[in-house]
Amino acid sequence: MLVDPLSQTLAALADPTRRAILARLSKGETSVSELAKPFAMSLPAVTKHLKVLQRAGLISQGRRAQWRPCRLEAKPLREVADWVEQYRRMWEQRLDRLEDYLREVQEPPVDKPARKRPSPKRKLKGPVR
């Protein structure tokens, strides 16, 4: 089954361990063993997280002799940010309109005279036919 890149990126970002790995890689490339140090899990478990991040295009791994440095790839994060941005703009516009409306209903009218309240209707005595 084909999964679109945005869905794959969001799924990879859904896990706190993977987000922590990305946060560490934002400081620069490092080895798998260094990435695994802060986590209370086995090296193979960390490697599974790295494979998910690689499939989403969020990291890449190089090879220098025995060292396999991981590095952050920013393009998928930019795509997520662009996707979220369109919704941020929409919600800001809606909130701005709501703010304008609330100001309008809370401020007393300046030019308009107060409206007369309609007189209460007389209640009829007896049954209504």
38 in Cβ contact with 30 (< 8 Å): no
Task: For 34-75, write each residue's pLDDT tens digit.
Answer: 999 999 999 999 999 999 999 999 999 988 777 789 999 999
All domains of the chain in start order, with CATH = 5-73 (1.10.10.10)
Bridge partner residues of 64 (DSSP): 67
The residue-averaged pLDDT of 66-91 equals 92
Q: What is the pTM of this model?
A: 0.69
Residues 6+ apart with CB under 8 A from 71: 25, 28, 29, 59, 60, 61, 62
As a whole number of angstroms, the distance between CA 64 and CA 57 comes to: 20
